[in-house]
């Protein structure tokens, strides 16, 4: 069963009447960011991530003058294009063949110019967008696997009874072997039927068994048995 990866980016939403855009995912599957807020979406291991855009949805609808994009990876170093990281000139990032080792914080800084109409004065504006990638332990089918799991207490009790029967059989076999096959100078071993017992203890060593906080109905019960 393949593991999944949880890619947390920045999702943008509008409050108010229904029909407004609920997230910054486009019909092409692009994910836009929003400063200071995380976005959550899922990516399978060994699959490509969605395309992450170093821009929020509102800014993308406006004209952006001389934009530059700087992506920083989980190791806090600038990202460059390679066989696993694809970065376009327009600031779009896609992680190919995603692996657990690539998880972490991905940060993009968008820089662009604004010009005042009256004075033609130029100002550099910077905006940061954060994208978090980390492993999600709940792979497809985990509910079915958990629902089908056996009861641990029943299995433990069954195994203990099996151990009791095998230990009893060991003493019975040893008594037979000592009596029939060994030199008569060795004292014979005698095993009395039904003399072997398994007694459940009412207390546990520290660190074992149940505790009063979680199991108030039987705080002293535990899985240790004395023979």
- pLDDT by residue (tens digit) across 16-29? 333 334 346 777 88
CA distance 190 to 182: 14
**pLDDT of 8 over the 50 cut:** no
Residues 6+ apart with CB under 8 A from 57: 12, 21, 24, 32
**pLDDT of 89 over the 70 cut:** yes
- Structural contact between residues 13 and 31, judged by C-beta atoms closer than 8 angstroms: no
CA distance 227 to 200: 9
- Structural contact between residues 127 and 110, judged by C-beta atoms closer than 8 angstroms: yes
Residues 6+ apart with CB under 8 A from 106: 52, 71, 72, 73, 74, 79, 93, 130, 131, 132, 133
3-state secondary structure of 69: strand
Mean pLDDT of 91-118: 88
Q: In this predicted structure, what is the pLDDT of residue 147?
A: 66
Residue 135, CB half-sphere, CA atoms under 13 Å: how many?
Answer: 10
CA distance 93 to 79: 10
Of 108, 126, 35, give the one whose Cα is nearest residue 72: 108
What are the tens digits of pLDDT across the range 171-186?
A: 878 777 776 766 666 6
Q: Which residue has the tokens 């399978």?
A: 44
Domains in the chain: ranges and CATH: 4-143 (2.60.40.10), 151-226 (no CATH)
**pLDDT of 97 over the 70 cut:** yes
Could you tell me where the DSSP H helices lie in 78-220?
142-147, 152-181
Q: In this predicted structure, what is the pLDDT of residue 22?
A: 38
pLDDT band at 10, cuts 50/70/90? very low
Q: What is the mean pLDDT of the chain?
A: 73
Of 9, 8, 66, give the one whose Cα is nearest residue 32: 9
Instruction: Choose the most confident range, by mean pLDDT, from 124-128, 190-194, 214-218.
Output: 124-128
Radius of gyration of the chain (CA): 33
Q: In this predicted structure, what is the pLDDT of residue 85?
A: 92
What are the tens digits of pLDDT across the range 64-79?
A: 999 999 999 988 999 9
**pLDDT of 204 over the 60 cut:** no
Tell me the CA distances in angstroms from 62 to 57, 59, 114, 149, one per residue in order: 9, 5, 12, 54
């Amino acid at each position: 069963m393949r593991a999944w990866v949880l890619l947390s980016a920045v999702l943008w939403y509008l409050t108010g009447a229904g029909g407004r855009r609920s997230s910054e995912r486009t019909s092409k599957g692009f994910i836009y960011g929003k400063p200071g807020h995380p976005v959550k979406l899922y990516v399978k291991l060994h699959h490509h991530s969605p395309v992450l855009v170093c821009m929020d949805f509102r800014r993308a609808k406006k004209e952006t003058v001389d934009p530059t994009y700087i992506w920083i990876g989980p190791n806090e170093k600038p990202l460059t294009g390679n066989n696993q990281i694809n970065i376009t000139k327009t600031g779009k990032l896609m992680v190919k063949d995603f692996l657990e080792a690539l998880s972490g914080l991905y940060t993009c800084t968008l820089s662009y110019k604004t010009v005042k109409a009256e004075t033609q004065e130029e100002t550099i504006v910077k905006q940061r967008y954060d994208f978090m990638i980390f492993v999600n332990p709940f792979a497809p089918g985990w509910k079915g696997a958990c629902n089908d799991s056996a009861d641990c207490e029943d299995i433990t009790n069954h195994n203990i009874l099996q151990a009791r029967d095998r230990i009893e059989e060991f003493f019975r076999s040893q008594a037979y072997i000592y009596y029939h096959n060994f030199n008569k100078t060795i004292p014979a071993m005698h095993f009395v039927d039904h003399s072997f017992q398994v007694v459940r203890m009412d207390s546990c060593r520290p660190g074992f068994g149940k505790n009063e906080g979680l199991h108030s109905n039987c705080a002293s019960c535990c899985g240790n048995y004395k023979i």
